[in-house]
Amino acid sequence: MTAADITTKAYNWDHNPGQETVVLEVSDGETYTSRKFKKIHAAHVTGNTDVDTAGLNVTFTGQVATINWNGVSDNAVTLTLWGKK
């Protein structure tokens, strides 16, 4: 698994301690390891570019989220995680 490139960190440490938000440059199957949580409870991913987002989804286990986007390479997404330290 290849790690996604972090574009922007917007952790929301003070205002929302249960949420972590990052903007990533991703290709299909790349991963993001949470800097904030040891266990991810929920995740949401949104495409930031004007391309077809069909097939865009995120799976997670422990503190690692995997962004799946069939056939896509180097596109921006916003990944929001909810979890527990």
Rounded Cα gap, residues 85 and 77, in angstroms? 24
Q: What is the pLDDT along the chain (85 residues), one digit of tens a residue?
A: 678 777 776 655 556 788 898 889 899 999 999 988 999 999 999 998 888 888 899 999 999 999 999 888 889 999 999 998 8
* Domain CATH number, residue 63: 2.60.40
Instruction: Give the C-alpha distances (Å, rounded to integers) separating 34 from 24, 60, 64, 70.
Output: 12, 10, 6, 23
Domain that holds residue 49: 5-84
pTM of the model: 0.86
Count of domains in the chain? Answer: 1
